[in-house]
Amino acid sequence: MAASFEDLLARPDLVWMGQNTTHLDPPAEVVQALEQSVRDRDFQVYAPPAGFEELRRLVGEDIGLPEVQVWITDGAVAGLYHLCMTLAPTISRVITTDPGWPWPGRFLGRTGVPLSALDVYDTPTRTLTAAQVAEVIEPRSLIYLIDPLNPLGSRYARAELEAIVALARETQSLIVHDCTYRHFATGHSLVAELYPEGTFTTYSFSKWLGLAGLRLGAVIAEPQLLSALTAVPANPLGAGIVGQRAAIAGLKVRGPWLEQVRRVNRANIERVEQVVADTGFGEVVVSPSHGNFLAVDVTATGLHSETVCDALLAADVFIRPGTYQSPHFGERFVKVSTSVPPAWVERFAAAWTSLAERTRVTV
Ligand SMILES: Cc1ncc(COP(=O)(O)O)c(C=O)c1O
């Protein structure tokens, strides 16, 4: 059985390369804002229901949708949950990918909405194509696009998004554009620019800024669309106020911070790719990844993805098996997160190399 996060937290030497979270030294400004907020005892009061105005403005500017409305949520996932549960009665089908991130499909599944999780592991683009969507779409579908795609690191081409938007428009379907990993991508396009009247964009502070434990994210949409969610929000007492202070501080130093985190991430991805190539143990699925993670296919090693992860965990290196994110392909790949200190990547390299050598001896 997979170790619980609580068990993992109790292992001080663990290398966290399994949650796509960022583990670099945070910006000093973010730590100062947290400390100041605690000293001011902000935690004794509620935040404004939709989030601090300053934070909402900064998020809109950051994502590149300054004219659109921003609702601050308790992590992107809480926004997605509320969106799914509120809109479920109006949705006929949810369309997404396998592999993907399973939660929106599961949330809607609880209310009886059928799920089409379309295979993209082996396809040329390793993202959903309009042709695939056309085969299953029906009036009032919800298309859930994760972009860049966790767990493969592929991202959508603008032309493909345009074709998917045309289908959505024809069928009065909604699109949820999950932009959790946008900050790590190059050449990323926003669906909201193409289909403002039918797109919810989701945003997270967990990955690029490394605030996963503070639980802060956002849902962004045209005011009319967003009001369907915010009329009765899931968090009427506001998202955590201490986290909002940290997020504001982070957004104010966004430029230099992103430059650093992207540089380290890129070098780490290259190093992981090199280790995989040198050992001949596994094969990188999408190169270069547009995320802060990459997927490695382990089919040819003869090992199940969970066996590979268990072996690395025995060496205090936590990576994730594909089984968490893919019913059809999960045993074939593992996912390695890369916005971490380079020394951690060397721990990964040693554990991966050792497993490759042990496996060669036993086969
Ligand atoms: C695609 C995707 N969406 C949303 C989330 C959740 O983000 P948050 O931590 O902001 O709730 C994750 C976290 O792994 C994710 O991979």
Predicted structure pTM score: 0.97
Query: How far apart are alpha carbons 161 and 316 in whole angstroms?
Result: 40
Amino acid at 223: P
* Domain membership of residue 276 as a residue range: 5-25+255-362
Q: Looking at the structure, do residues 103 and 40 belong to the same domain, yes or no?
A: yes
- The CB of 76 under 6 Å from ligand 1? The reply is yes
Q: Looking at the structure, do residues 229 and 308 belong to the same domain, yes or no?
A: no
Instruction: Find how far residue 4's CA is from the centre of its chain.
Output: 20
Query: How far apart are alpha carbons 99 and 329 in whole angstroms?
Result: 7
Q: Looking at the structure, do residues 322 and 197 belong to the same domain, yes or no?
A: no
Q: Looking at the structure, do residues 176 and 309 belong to the same domain, yes or no?
A: no
Domain end among 252, 284, 302: 252
* Residue appearing with tokens 């947290």: 34
Query: How far apart are alpha carbons 74 and 233 in whole angstroms?
Result: 11
Q: What is the pLDDT of residue 67?
A: 86
Query: How far apart are alpha carbons 237 and 47 in whole angstroms?
Result: 6
CA of 269 to the centre of ligand 1 (A): 20
- The CB of 22 under 6 Å from ligand 1? The reply is no
> Would you call the peptide bond into 148 cis, given omega within 30 degrees of 0 as the criterion?
yes
- Residue 111 near residue 262 (C-beta atoms within 8 A): no
Q: Looking at the structure, do residues 80 and 218 belong to the same domain, yes or no?
A: yes
Q: Looking at the structure, do residues 247 and 279 belong to the same domain, yes or no?
A: no
Q: Looking at the structure, do residues 166 and 107 belong to the same domain, yes or no?
A: yes
Contacts of 71 (CB under 8 A, 6+ apart): 50, 51, 56, 79, 218, 219, 220, 226, 229, 230, 233
Ligand 1 atom with least separation from CA of 100: 1
Q: What is the pLDDT of residue 362?
A: 63
In the chain, % helix, strand, coil (3-state, to 5) comes to 50, 15, 35
Q: Looking at the structure, do residues 202 and 292 belong to the same domain, yes or no?
A: no
Domain end among 226, 252, 278: 252
Q: Looking at the structure, do residues 143 and 162 belong to the same domain, yes or no?
A: yes
Between CA 188 and CA 199, with CA 194 as vertex, the angle to 5 degrees is: 90
CA of 205 to the centre of ligand 1 (A): 9
Ordered per-residue pLDDT tens for the chain, 363 residues: 567 889 999 999 999 999 999 999 999 999 999 999 999 999 999 999 999 999 999 999 999 998 899 999 999 999 999 999 999 999 999 999 999 999 999 999 999 999 999 999 999 999 999 999 999 999 999 999 999 999 999 999 999 999 999 999 999 999 999 999 999 999 999 999 999 999 999 999 999 999 999 999 999 999 999 999 999 998 999 999 999 999 999 999 999 999 999 999 999 999 999 999 999 999 999 999 999 999 999 999 999 999 999 999 999 999 999 999 999 999 999 999 999 999 999 999 999 999 999 998 665
Q: Looking at the structure, do residues 138 and 97 belong to the same domain, yes or no?
A: yes
Pocket perturbation via mutation, ligand 1, pick of 206, 208, 215, 326 by most ligand atoms within 8 A of CB: 206
Pocket perturbation via mutation, ligand 1, pick of 150, 176, 219 by most ligand atoms within 8 A of CB: 150
Ligand 1 atom with least separation from CA of 79: 11
Q: Looking at the structure, do residues 33 and 18 belong to the same domain, yes or no?
A: no
- The CB of 104 under 6 Å from ligand 1? The reply is no
Q: Which of 146, 150, 151 is nearest to 161 (CA)?
A: 146
Q: What CATH number should be reported for the domain holding residue 268?
A: 3.90.1150.10
Q: Looking at the structure, do residues 208 and 331 belong to the same domain, yes or no?
A: no
| Bridging pattern class, strands 283-284 and 217-221 | unpaired
Q: What CATH number should be reported for the domain holding residue 246?
A: 3.40.640.10
Ligand 1 atom with least separation from CA of 203: 10
Domain end among 203, 228, 252: 252
Q: What is the pLDDT of residue 360?
A: 82
Pocket perturbation via mutation, ligand 1, pick of 17, 73, 77 by most ligand atoms within 8 A of CB: 77
* Residue appearing with tokens 């380290």: 264
**Domain count of the chain?**
2
Ligand 1 atom with least separation from CA of 212: 9
